[in-house]
Amino acid sequence: MKKNDARRTALKILTSVRRFSDFSDEALSSRLKALKKVDRALCSKLVYGVLQNRMLLDYYISIHLDRSISRLEPKLLDLLRLSAYQILFLDRIPDRAAISEAVDITKEINKKASGLVNAVLRRISENKSLVLPENEFEETEYLSIKYSHPKWFCEYMTNKYGRNFTEGFLKANNEEPPIYLQVNTELISAEELLEKILELGLNAEPDSDLKSIKLGQIGELLESDLFHKGYFFIQDKAARAAVDIAQVKSGESILDLCAAPGGKSFASALEMKNSGRVLSCDISQSRLEKLVESAERLKLYVIETKLMDALDAGNLKESFDLVIADVPCSGFGVIRKKPEIRYKNWESLSELADIQKKILNNAANMVNDSGRLIYSTCTIFNEENEEVVADFLARNINYYIEEEKRFWPHIDGSDGFYICLLKKRT
């Protein structure tokens, strides 16, 4: 193994995210196991830090480069971003160490480029006090570079919500998100679990609903007896709210479309006091298998699973008290957890909206006469949220909106999320 494996592993992950559109959290999960514990935190910090600040890093690289940044070999640019991030954002890593290691890695990629890498990084180090000059840029371009979000997205947000709201949202997207543990109240109380977590030396506090516990860091909690005994599962508080809004009752029948990894199914089972039926469906067999493992760990025995594409859900000859349609979406509400999402193109939204409309209409066909329907996404675009619901209501006049709610990371401390509770007219 070569020295400083955290940096080399981070570079491999950044390259795979760029080349293959891998999700950073999944790429990290698969590669961190090969690192020593001391290197895992640094590797994660480097990957997320570069992705969160990529456009700003490119700005600083470009002003110290004697050619267009677009002419750089892509992997070399990944390395420059990685090293510039260490110099500009990580005080605990000496600049000379970051530069020296970058030059060594460059020699493994392209020996001829080692001089260029050394020169650019030294210039960045010598000019760390430089700040992005706001007066040289149009407003949305400045926000785009400063917070590393595409200009089209900054324009969308400022046009809809204004500068202050937008800047708060962009800033929050570059911060580390809290972790919410949903308490398995069938096995332990929130107070008891909180006490046990604090005994492990972790910083934790109860969330306002007393059903979840908020953590800054997960630490080794997933390797603890508390996890293996099924005392909790991880789910953002906004996603949990989708079940809370539906006011699930003991003994009900619930269909959870697009269910994996299972958070809403688990929350539904808990709200029903583990009495009733939850049918959890997903298009992925492997994800359903993980859902089953989690349900068994949590001792939630009312959960059944079915391999099914939500686009074909109309073939399911059953009706339910509650149908949950947490549909595939652009994911722009979970940028804090998957920072690479921000670099998606706007053009993909219309195709997603068509899928969302089809799933919502399929879901409605399986709601019984007195039942409810939840539509939810982890995105912030009206085109995937309110407009999808409006299209649905225009086609289904027997439904009406009972409650509608949005969550924002800079306001609620949660994922960006949309929930709409629909009911049938009686």
Q: What is the pLDDT of residue 319?
A: 96
pLDDT given for residue 317 in this prediction? 84
pLDDT at position 210: 66
Helices (H), 273-378: 285-298, 348-364
Please identify which residue in the block is written with the tokens 């809004």.
245
Residue range 172-195: mean pLDDT, rounded = 97
Confidence check: pLDDT of 3 > 70: no
What pLDDT score does 322 carry? 99
Please state, for a pLDDT cut of 90, what percent of the chain lies above it.
89
**Measured between alpha carbons, how far is 328 from 311 in angstroms, rounded to an integer?**
11
Q: Which of 235, 296, 217 is nearest to 44 (CA)?
A: 217
Catalytic residue among 154, 281, 329, 378: 378
Residue pLDDT, tens place only, 256-314: 999 999 999 999 999 999 999 999 999 999 999 999 999 999 999 999 999 999 998 76
Residue 375 confidence (pLDDT) above 80: yes
Task: Check: CB of residue 99 under 8 Å from CB of residue 83.
Answer: yes
Q: Is the pLDDT of residue 1 over 70?
A: no
pLDDT digits 0-9 by tens, 91-132: 999 999 999 999 999 999 999 999 999 999 999 999 998 899
* 290-308: b (≥16 Cβ within 10 Å) or e: ebeebbeebebebbebeeb
Average pLDDT, the chain: 95
Stated pTM of the model: 0.94
Report d(CA 254, CA 14) in Å as an integer: 40
Among this protein's residues, is 378 annotated catalytic? yes
Across 392-415, average pLDDT = 98
8 Å CB contact between 349 and 377: no
Residue pair 110/136 in contact (Cβ under 8 Å)? The answer is: no
Tokens standing for 152?
A: 């089209």
Q: What pLDDT band is residue 8 in, cutting at 50, 70 and 90? A: very high
SS3 396: coil
Mean pLDDT within 382-398: 98
- Segment 44-48 shows an average pLDDT of 97
CA separation for the pair 347, 358 (Å, rounded): 19
Q: Give tens-digit pLDDT for 322-333.
A: 999 999 999 999
CA distances from 297 to 190, 293, 397 (A): 18, 6, 42
Residue at token pair 């909690």: 221
Q: What is the pLDDT of residues 340-350, one digit of tens each?
A: 999 988 777 78
3-state SS class at 305: strand
